[in-house]
């Protein structure tokens, strides 16, 4: 039987990136905004992040993404990271995604499987950079 319970805010806040821009708002305010879109729970002792009831997964391996990675991507997408520390998530670029795909699957980025994975990956990313 699967055990599933919501995680307390202090656990979620501990996953916030160190380079977040604290001039924008407090951790509690960041949390309140994030919690309206994402759900945080523990399933079978493993932390999970959900959106609209679905576990957020790696678009290639289809394994649940670590909460820290999901949160950092969320902060990056919202522009909540300090500007001098801001680095575009490598998976938000075509070349970065291709490299990740080849490294994780051992397959070339020229086949139909790659394009299916790419389409699956970009469907939820509004700021995907198709030119880099």
One DSSP character per residue, 34-89 reads: HHHH-EEEEETTEEEEEETTEEPB-TTT-PBPPHHHHHHHHHHHHT-B-GGG----
Q: What mean pLDDT comes out for the span 47-53?
A: 91
For residues 96 and 24, give the distance between their C-alpha atoms in angstroms, rounded to a whole number: 29
Residues 40 and 92 in one domain: no
pLDDT band for position 85 (50/70/90)? Answer: very low
Residues 31 and 52 in one domain: yes
- Flag whether pLDDT at 4 surpasses 80: no
50: β partners: 39, 55
Last residue of a domain, one of 41, 62, 82: 82
Question: Residue 126's domain spans which residues?
Answer: 88-132
Residues 113 and 68 in one domain: no
pLDDT band for position 3 (50/70/90)? Answer: very low
What is the residue-averaged pLDDT of the chain? 84
Residues 15 and 76 in one domain: yes
Residues 15 and 33 in one domain: yes
Q: Shortest CA distance to 40 belongs to which of 31, 49, 32?
A: 49
Q: What distance, in Å, lies between the first and last C-alpha atoms of the chain?
A: 45
Domain count, the chain: 2
Residues 113 and 132 in one domain: yes
Verdict on whether the full-model pTM lies above 0.85: no
pLDDT band for position 121 (50/70/90)? Answer: confident
Q: What mean pLDDT comes out for the span 84-99?
A: 68
Of the candidate ranges 1-5, 43-47, 100-104, the one whose mean pLDDT is the lowest: 1-5
Residue-wise pLDDT tens digits, 27-40: 999 999 999 999 99
Residues 58 and 99 in one domain: no
Residues 102 and 130 in one domain: yes
């Amino acid at each position: 039987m699967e055990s599933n319970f919501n995680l307390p805010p202090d656990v979620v806040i501990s996953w916030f990136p160190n380079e977040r821009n604290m001039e924008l708002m407090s951790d509690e305010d960041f949390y309140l905004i994030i919690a309206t879109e994402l759900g945080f729970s523990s399933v079978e002792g493993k932390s999970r992040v959900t959106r609209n009831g679905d576990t957020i997964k790696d678009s290639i391996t289809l394994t649940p993404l670590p909460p820290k990675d999901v949160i950092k991507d969320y902060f990056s997408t919202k522009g909540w990271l300090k500007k001098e520390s801001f680095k575009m998530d490598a998976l938000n670029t075509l070349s970065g995604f291709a490299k990740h795909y080849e490294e994780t699957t051992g397959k070339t980025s020229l086949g139909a499987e790659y394009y299916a994975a790419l389409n699956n990956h970009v469907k939820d990313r509004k700021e995907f950079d198709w030119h880099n």
